[in-house]
Each structure stands twice: as C-alpha cells, then as structure tokens.
Chain A
Amino acid sequence: DTAVSQTPKYLVTQMGNDKSIKCEQNLGHDTMYWYKQDSKKFLKIMFSYNNKELIINETVPNRFSPKSPDKAHLNLHINSLELGDSAVYFCASSQGQGRGYTFGSGTRLTVV
C-alpha cells in the first residue's frame, strides 16, 4: 500500500527521557513534515524538509530535531521529554507547492 507510515502508534515515557518517532513514505514525495496536535485538536507545524531545505517553526524547542537519512524518511527525535510534550504527532508528505498532504495515522505521545 502506498502510504505514510509512522511508528510507534502509542508511546508512553517518563519525563527526562529521549525518544524517537519514525516516519516513512513510499509515495515518492519530495517534502515531509511533522505536525503536533494538542488536546484541543489544534494542529501546529513543527518542521518541513525536502532534500534542499529544512524549515523549522521558530516556536519549536531545540529539544526536537528531525533526522532524514533519505528522501523517504523523516524521523523525529525528542530529548529531555517534558509533560507538555504530550500530544499526537503526525508525519505527512506532499509533492511540492500546491499539492495536498498525505498524513500518517499519528503517534500518541504521553509523558508521565
């Protein structure tokens, strides 16, 4: 199936830990993204990345870092997790300007 897949689907971890969420797309898209959705369903862009440019939302703490080993993968690393990081994180991809996104099914992160 062509899709954006992210793992794990659920992640429960303690404050202070470091964790990663993986994302892979087999759609051949050029650009990948990470979004955070809070408890009020508010979606906020964190990063966008293609093979030329990483755009970081300036409000994202530097504890969050994207890592892209190749065009089909954009993983999210989070250091020193805090309670406020609890949210659903969505990976998405698109084929450039003026195209819709394809979203993954989300990773629910709970920091305890």
Chain B
Amino acid sequence: SQQGEEDPQALSIQEGENATMNCSYKTSINNLQWYRQNSGRGLVHLILIRSNEREKHSGRLRVTLDTSKKSSSLLITASRAADTASYFCATDARTGANNLFFGTGTRLTVIP
C-alpha cells in the first residue's frame, strides 16, 4: 500500500504553543503535500514539498522532508484556536499520474 501514516493520531495543545505532526510513507515520491480538514468540510491544500527539497516555509507552517527516512514533519508555530482541524499528509507515487495517497491524519485541538 502507498498509504502514509501520521503520528500522533491526536494532539492537544494550548494556544500559542507549537504543534508538530509527523508523516511516514512507503514508496518513492515526486512530492509530498499537507492538507487541513476542518470538521464537516473538504480538505484544503496547505503546502507542497518536492522530493529534492528538505525544508519549506509558508507563514506559520514549516515542513521538512527526509527522503532517506521516508518521513516528513509539519510544524505549526504560535498555534491558534482556529488551527483546530485534522491534518493529512499525501504522497504521489512515481507513476506519472498525479494520484495522491493520504495518510491517516492527525487530529489537532488547540485550546484557547
């Protein structure tokens, strides 16, 4: 299976703290993406990191990628209550198609 796994499954932090979520995957990839899903809503694309990149930033988000370990991390700094959501990593497979395979998700709760 090309499915990834996020760790932890659930994370609860106080507002203002940093949140770190990890993702492991199994196959070689072209890129890895992170998505957010608020309860009852669709997924929203956050950031994409290519296999030849090691780190990428977007606002309060920092993503790292270690292709030798087949793992990625998403760091959200200075968390806010509005960051409460499920976060998914997704990987493509080097098949030529842009089909994404999603991890199991981390449920983040930011307590005001």
Contact = CB atoms under 8 A, between A and B. Distances in A.
Interface residues of B, number: 25
Interface stretch (A66-74, A78-86, A100-108): A100-108
B98 A94 contact: yes
Interface string A1-38: 00010000000000000000000000000010101000
B104 interface: yes
B98 A105 contact: no
Interface residues of A, number: 27
B44 interface: yes
Contacts of B41: 105-106
B50 A33 contact: no
A105 B48 contact: no
Nearest to A48: B99
Interface of B: 30-31, 33, 35, 37, 40-45, 48, 50, 86, 88, 92, 96-102, 104-105
Given A41-B37, A104-B42, A106-B40, 8 more contacts: A4-B42, A48-B98, A90-B43, A97-B30, A101-B100, A102-B45, A103-B42, A105-B41
